[in-house]
Chain A
Amino acid sequence: MNNLGLIISFLVIGAGLLWFLLRALQGKEVERRIIFVFIGLAVSVPILFSITFAEKASPIVKAVYDKIENLPDGSRVLISYDYGPSMAPEVEPMSNAFLRHSLAKGHKVYLMGLWATGQSIAATAIDSVVRREFPEKVYGVDFVNLGYKAGNQGVLNVIITDIRKMYLTDVGGIDLDSLPIMDGIKSLRNMNLLMSVGGGFPGIKEWIQFAGDPGHIPVAGGSAAVSAPLLYPYYPTQLLGLLGGIKGAAEYEAELKRHYPQFADTPQPGIKMMGPQTLAHLVIMAFIIIGNISFFVARRRRG
């Protein structure tokens, strides 16, 4: 049913665009209402039929995926929740995907936040992702929520040498030394991978400057689309990979789904949001091309 809807709507949109391309070759303009109809279709069809596109991870996203994939089982992975509710729709899919992937691979996951709001978002992630999808994982053994500490990059400056100078207990007040997951963890240097998800200050940039670089620890990140361009100069030397905006999230979700069949039914908000975006983009670009063709044809005719 879905496939039928998809094929029909693609045929309609494709044939329509082709028709207007042919008209453009005769120098004819497209009426604006036609464009509106195409945009309407391009956005509503993917919503109605839950059309998603095969996303292919770009190298910068694939780098993050490969890193988690290639770490030996039982490696230590830290995920920092550096965002608040307003940024959540865009970056929460990323932190959830990181969390899923790390747990599925059997890594030990340490959650924390440089943003005060990150602490409760991390707690939500434990409820909605870990407890639901990985009921066998044990708190304190396979994962832990360290919570938020005030001090922005100052926190990193301290925990790069000694985590316990900042964190004596986890978020629930349990002594860190009583948690098996903390055995042998003295500082961030004992982590195999640091991941920061966010899009403001403090965020990925601070993780690079105050933890990754001084400690020679690999840093990966997920960032809102607005701030992603500012992080590209760090890739690939200081930042091993980056998920930028909904697109990055979708690519990662797709990569995860391809290799882990058990995630076939988990929600993929990133991929879902990309459907209408992609189609609308294509339609707009098609019309820009059509517009230019009819413009040049008409100009040549006029002499």
Chain B
Amino acid sequence: MNGSRWTMIVLIAVVTLFLVSWAIKSFPSSGDTISWPSIRHAFFVTLAAFVTLAIFSFLYKDNPYYKFAEHLFVGVSAAYWMCVGFWSTFVGNLIPRISPGLSKFFGVPYKEFTFYYFVPLILGILLLMRLSSKAGWLSRWALAFIVGTTAGLNLIRYLRSDFISQVSNTFVPLLVQWKGTGAFFSDFSLASGGQFTLMLTNWVIFIGTFCGLIYFFFSKEHKGVFGAASRVGIWVLMITFGASFGYTVMGRVSLLVGRLTFLFDDWLGLMN
């Protein structure tokens, strides 16, 4: 009972704070009279600040305020994407090609009757058959269409953009043109343009790729020389993962800076 009393006290405090914040923010700073737009704006800024804090509260533990923000977010965002999809794809793309009457109803310019657009319409309706227990199997036709088409497209897309160029980029000169000992040993520091570094770099890339690929062999036991190469492969992978992680830290902090600036500046007005 004590617990629920506390919950009530916190709830009342939060609601009060919300109202106070709303009221304070409603007053325009320049001494103008209070107006409907400023009240509206104050409400939404306060709301944004409260949902921001509600999400941050999750870091402490799961709580009713996080649950509220989460459930609200799910409902609103699901509807948002549905509306966007409906207006832009269904009304924007399909309707103008199949029905002049519906185009007029939705207020979009009618393009021309295109017979082929009945195919997705029919497949879409078949997909909705899932809701019936008897005709549910019909929905597989639509799934088969989508999965088949995109499997083919994806296969090609990946080969084209990444795979073949990555293979050919592995061919690097492992020997450099000899320009004399002086030129070769001129600069030992890594990431320089010196000849020694260039050669070292090319060797590391080649051996790294090679061992990495060995690690991904599935049908051979990783033993002996093969196993050693595969171990080197996983080392290279781990070094890379560590480096990527370290590199990302910087960018992630700026996201938090953005959110805190919103709270301190836009909402509380703490920064002049």
Cα-based distance from A234 to B193 in the complex (angstroms): 6
A159 at the interface (CB under 8 A from B): no
B250–A47 contact, CB under 8 A? no
Q: Which residue of B lies closest to A37 (CB)?
A: B59
Q: Are B257 and A47 within 8 A (Cβ)?
A: yes
- Give the Cβ gap from A55 to chain B, nearest Cβ, in Å: 15
* B253 & A237 in contact (Cβ 8 Å cutoff): no
Q: Are A233 and B264 in contact (CB under 8 A)?
A: no
- Closest B residue to A247 by CB, please name it: B250
| B239 interface hit (Cβ, 8 Å) | no
Interface residues on B, range: 10 to 19
Quote the shortest CB–CB distance from A90 to chain B (angstroms): 10
For residue A90, which residue of chain B has the nearest CB?
B254
Within 8 A of B (CB), among A26-51: 33, 36, 39, 43-44, 47-48, 50
Which residues from chain A contact B60 at a C-beta distance below 8 Å?
33, 36
State whether the Cβ of B1 lies closer than 8 Å to any Cβ in chain A: no
Q: Is B260 an interface residue (CB 8 A)?
A: yes
Q: Is A229 close to B, CB under 8 A?
A: yes
Interface assignment of A273: CB less than 8 Å from any CB of chain B: yes
A-B pairs with beta carbons under 8 Å apart, 16 shown: A43-B253, A43-B257, A47-B257, A48-B270, A50-B271, A233-B191, A233-B192, A237-B193, A238-B193, A245-B250, A273-B254, A277-B253, A277-B254, A280-B249, A280-B256, A281-B250
Would A44 and B264 be within 8 Å (CB), given that A225-B250, A277-B253 are in contact? Answer: yes
| Contact of B261 with A by CB under 8 A | yes
A47–B59 touching, CB < 8 Å: no
A233 touches B260 (CB 8 A): no
Cα A2 to Cα B165 with chains together (Å):
55
Q: Indicate if A160 sits at the interface (CB-CB under 8 A).
A: no
The minimal Cβ–Cβ distance linking B194 to chain A, given in whole angstroms, is 9
How far is A50 from B192 in the complex, measured between Cα atoms in Å? 37
Q: Bits for B102-129, please: 1 = Cβ < 8 Å to A, else 0.
A: 0000000000000000000000000000
Residues of A contacting B254 in the complex (Cβ-Cβ under 8 angstroms): 273, 276-277
Complex: A299 Cα to B201 Cα, angstroms: 38
Quote the shortest CB–CB distance from A219 to chain B (angstroms).
14
B264 cross-chain contacts in A, Cβ below 8 A:
44, 47-48
Q: Which residues of B does A touch, CB under 8 Å?
A: 59-60, 191-193, 249-250, 253-254, 256-257, 260-261, 264, 270-271
Inter-chain contacts of A245 with B (CB < 8 A)? 250
Known contacts A33-B59, A245-B250, A281-B253, then 20 further A-B pairs from the complex at CB < 8 Å, ordered by chain A residue: A36-B59, A36-B60, A43-B256, A43-B257, A44-B260, A47-B257, A47-B260, A47-B264, A48-B264, A48-B270, A50-B271, A232-B191, A233-B191, A233-B192, A234-B193, A273-B257, A277-B250, A280-B256, A281-B249, A284-B249
Would you give the shortest CB distance from B89 to chain A, in whole angstroms? 26
**A276 x B253 contact (CB < 8 A):** yes
Interface residues of A in 235-267 (CB under 8 A from B): 235, 237-238, 245
Minimum-distance CB pairs A-B, first 8? A233-B193, A280-B253, A232-B191, A36-B59, A276-B257, A44-B260, A43-B256, A277-B253
Whole-angstrom CA separation of A229 from B270 in the bound complex: 38
Contact present for B253 and A229 (CB under 8 Å): no
User: Which residues of B have CB within 8 Å of A39?
Assistant: 256
Task: Verify B250–A43 contact, CB threshold 8 A.
Answer: no
Question: A122-146 vs B: 1/0 string, CB under 8 Å?
Answer: 0000000000000000000000000
Nearest CB in chain A: distance from B63 CB, A:
13
Instruction: List the B side residues contacting A276 at CB < 8 Å.
Output: 253-254, 256-257
B180 to chain A, nearest CB (A): 17
Q: Point out the residues of chain A lying under 8 angstroms from B193, CB to CB.
A: 233-234, 237-238
Q: For window 247-303 of chain A, which residues contact chain B by CB distance below 8 Å?
A: 273, 276-277, 280-281, 284
Name the residue of chain A whose CB is nearest to the CB of B61: A33
Question: CA–CA, A44 to B256, complex, Å?
Answer: 9
